[in-house]
Structure formats: C-alpha cells, structure tokens
Amino acid sequence: MALAGCTNNSGNGVDNSNREPVEERVDKRFTKALHRGTYGMDNASWNPYDPSNEMANFDPPGLIFDPLMVEYQSHGTFQGLIADNWEKEDGSVLVEMSDEWTWHNGDPVTTADLVTDLDIRFRISEITSPDDPASTYIEDYEAVDDYAIRYHLHDDFTIESVLTNELAEAPLFIKEDVGNPSFGQWRDDLMDADADSDEATTLVSDFQEWSPELDEVVGNGPFQLKEVTDTALVAEVYDDHPNADDIYFTEYVIEHHEDQVLAFIEEQVDAIALNLPESPDLMQQLPEHHEINRDYDHLWSVLFNFGDYDWPNSPANNPTNQPITSDERVRKAIACALDREQIFASVPEEYDLYELPPTFLNSTAVEEGLVDIDGYDNYDVDHDRATALMEEAGYQRDDGQWYDEDGEPAELTLLAQSSTAVQVDGLDAIRHQLEEFGFTAEVDAVDEATYGESRFNGDHDIIFDNHPVFSIMGLTYVDFVWNWFAQLNHVDYENETWEIPAEIGNPDASDTMELNVMDEIEQLHLTGDDEYLQRLTWWYNQALPMYGCVIAGDYGAINANEWHVDASDEMLDNRVCEFNLVRLPDGDLRPYQE
C-alpha cells in the first residue's frame, strides 16, 4: 500500500539549504484554510453542547483551546499537554494537571473547569437518557485538589482505553464564569431542576441553543482571539502559554476558501489541513510542501449486506431484500472473483491500491507490529476457488450464469451515490467483473437522500463505502463505528456469535472457535492485550464483512518554500499536526529569514 505522506520533513525535497529559519519571533502571519464548514465564522456557536455540533466543524477550537493530552493515533502513544501525569489505580484514573496553563484572561486552568464540564455532561445525560450511562468508561469523578482529578471507572478498563475514548484530544472548552448566563449558572440550573420534569427538558434545549458571545470567549491555547469576520479568524500569540517562547510568528489566521486546494496552489494560504492528494494534475501544481496529518487514511471497501433486520436498533424500515451476501461462502467467492487492481485502475487517480489482506488496519499499524498478519487470507483472484465456494453454497453455473437451488439467477444489487465518482466508478468495475464470473449485477446509482435511506433499509447486496484506517480506533470505537457498521452490514454485532478457524493465520484449520465482536472489544479495553486485537482482525479477515480495495489518503500540507517544519513522525502523522506544531515544544514551525 502506498502510504500517504512518506516524505521527509524538509518538504518533498525542496532545497532550503541556503536559508535559515528565524531564531526569534518575527511579525508574520501563518494562514490556514478552514478545513470544513460553510457558515460565517462570526456566527458560529462556541458552546460544545450545541447539538448541531458546529464547533466540531470549526477549526478555531483546536487553536484557541488545548486538550489534556495528545494522542498519536497511528502509533498508539500519548503526550501530555495540560495534563502532565496520569496513572490508573484501584479502578480509577488519576490525572494530574500542570499549573503552568492559564486562561487568556490570566486565571489558572484548574480541575474546577473540568468538573464544570463533567457536571453539565452527566446532568444532560441524566435528563435526556436516564437509562444510559453518560460515559461508557467513567462512572463518577472528583477533584482531588486544584490540579488533580480522579475518574472512577465502570469497570477495570485499561488506561489506554480510557485515555483514547474519554480524555485525549478533546479541547478543554468550558470555563465556569464564561458567558451570560455563564456555563456555571447553566450547570447550577440544570442541577437544581427535577430531572424528570418538562422544565429540565426545556432547560437542556435552551442551553444547547445558547452560545457565549464572541467577545466573551476565553481560551487557554497558544493563540487567543483577536478578530473574527464572516470569512476569517485572526488569533495572536498568547504570551503566557507554556510554549509561547517556541512560537516564531505573531498571528495565526484561519480563512474560509471555497476551494482549499486551489487556495494552497495559488498561495493564498500557507497550509491546508486535509483534502490531499487531489487529482494528479492539481498535485503537480502544488508548491513544494511539507505533508502533515499524514496517516488520516480512509479505505474504500466492498461492504456486504448480511440481511439481519430483526434486532431492536435495526435502522431498516419494512425491509424486503434478502441478500445472497448473507452467506459467508458467497462473500468469499465475490472477493476471489474480484481483481482489486482493476478496481484501482477504474477509480480517480488520486486513490492508491490497498495491498493488505482484509484486516481493518493500515500499513503503519502492521509495520509497527500491532498485529501479525502472517497467513491471513488475501483473497487473491482465483476463479477456481470462487467457483468451488459458490458450488459449496448451493449454486450451479449454467451457460456462464449462476443459479440458486430454485433455479433463480444469482442477482446482486450494487448501491451507489450518483454524485460520488469513486463509488460509481468502483462499482462499475466490480459489476463488470462479477458479470464475467456469472452473477447478474446491477449498479443502482441514486441521489444522496435515496442512497442514505436505501442503505439503511438494506436495499442492496453490496455498497462501496469508506471507513477510517488511520489507527485501530475503528476496532475500538464501540459507540460509533460498530453501531455504524451494524446499520450498513445489517448485523446484530451485540448478539451475533461467529465461528472462525481456531488457528490464527491458518484459514484451513479444521478446528474452530466462537467469537463475539463486542465481547472481544470489551476485553481489549479491559486488558489492553494485543491478543484481542489479533483475534478481532482474524475474525474480520475470515468473516469478511468488508473487502478493502483502494485507499484514500487525506492529508494536509504546509508551504515548504516559506515555512520550516520539523517534528516526529508521530506528530506529522497525527490529525491535527498544524496545531500541535505550535502548542508542543517538540514541534517546530518557523518562517524562513527574509
């Protein structure tokens, strides 16, 4: 697999040997394109509990606010920021905070700020979802003192699971006295209301629709707000930030551009966070650049419908399709009938061939030894094997066409979103190959709304969709990824028991073992033992819910002609490198001397 961002830190070979980066701060702006969001930045919500999740689509929180710690997801490591120590003991995690962080008005950042946030979160959950815990991991919490907080856990989870899913990356947004009414006043009102009353429900709604005014926003990150317009946010160095002495320019500007890549090509901005690689002709027009956020890859896969609609949270509404892909042998026959290189040749040129066996991992995870994939089934093109699998599943081929035991043709519906070229092109190539093998296959290319409804209703045998492979997160995000896959695969992962070969790495093993996906994920979280990650990837390889075909790199760039960048691979691979470069002492982002 070609991994996005395998360039050196000096900027894709650009020769800056005769130029030196500045040694002290200069009066210069660093500009970055807003990575998504089309609304006016001056009207954005600054309330992290806004249900429209506007802050998640708005870059400035990553610049204005710092998290407790940074997680380098592809590498499975953490680096402290506001938190400078954490340890697990007696079913709890103790986090100790640095006393060097202050809010931009000079107040110290303390555990009182964390507790205000947690109080609001847990109280909203108690009011809106009384039967569900506010957190999968945290049962309760207490401030030990101004700079230490203890999180009591529901179970004996590993500290890595708690950090990954609860404490890392999320910026510390909430300051108790910010806003009018303040976050603290909202917290008190929520606490005082009867959780079962209409008053409490209305209060939650009112709070979620509320936002501090722009001039009330107080951050704690390396830059503080200076000016906001409908298209740009200008921030200036906060001199009391612990990393301020290592920031070598005065202003950080985030700008909205309709076409971010074009803005970078025309050097209207110094950086873009994502959206590369683009088409080859556009890539050739880019200025020399450093690649950042390099491992944020997505895998486009043949995703199979298992046709299990009869479970409580199934999204299907009066489903009628009984997909032939519910049979594991048919799924494996399809994989062996497909040539990934033909699919790769059919999609837009910015995609790379995925060359790993189905594992849900990228090459970084494999190369660093998280999983041993020796002996995993690659499902190479093998029509003889595919034929044997179809016959084992009860199909017979007559005059080049497969028929089931009732004499009905083996039909496949391939569902695509008509506006997404990679889906349509990929499924056209898949259709052609499957028809040559003997299936009756049809690409149903529909508009976005119909696509969303049809895939949830199971009106397909195959979709060609993408999922993240930038870390093992996809295997461990229980509350998101597996709920999402359950809705697309139409599988009750919570209760389904799978029978797979007992010897990991030997698909032909005669003995079998039973496995429940969610139980394995829970054990991974409780023990941190890579054995469970190995078992999960082996299940994935053998049950084959998806068959990966092409990888979509989604990385960013910083202009290497103007900016010196130096950082570890972990930092450069991470999703928000452009912010970590200025808030962590081992990141280096400096302009060159004039």
Predicted pLDDT of residue 192: 97
Predicted pLDDT of residue 39: 57
Burial of 5 (0-12, 13-18, 19+ CB in 10 A): buried
Predicted pLDDT of residue 385: 98
Predicted pLDDT of residue 8: 36
Predicted pLDDT of residue 7: 36
In angstroms and rounded to an integer, the radius of gyration of the C-alpha atoms of the chain is 26
Neighbours of 305 (CB within 10 A): 29
Cα–Cα distance measured from residue 155 to residue 178, given in angstroms and rounded to the nearest whole number: 34
Strand spans (E) along 36-146: 69-72, 77-80, 83-89, 92-97, 138-145
Predicted pLDDT of residue 17: 61
CA end-to-end distance (rounded Å), the chain? 40
Backbone angles phi, psi at 479, to 5 degrees: -80, -10
Predicted pLDDT of residue 5: 32
Predicted pLDDT of residue 2: 31
User: What residues of the chain score a pLDDT lower than 50?
Assistant: 1-13, 478
The structure's pTM equals: 0.81
> 565 forms bridges with which residues in the sheet?
589
- Closest among 221, 256, 218 to 105, alpha carbons compared: 218
Percentages (nearest 5) of helix, strand, coil residues in the chain: 30, 25, 45
Residues across the chain: 594
Backbone angles phi, psi at 579, to 5 degrees: -90, -40
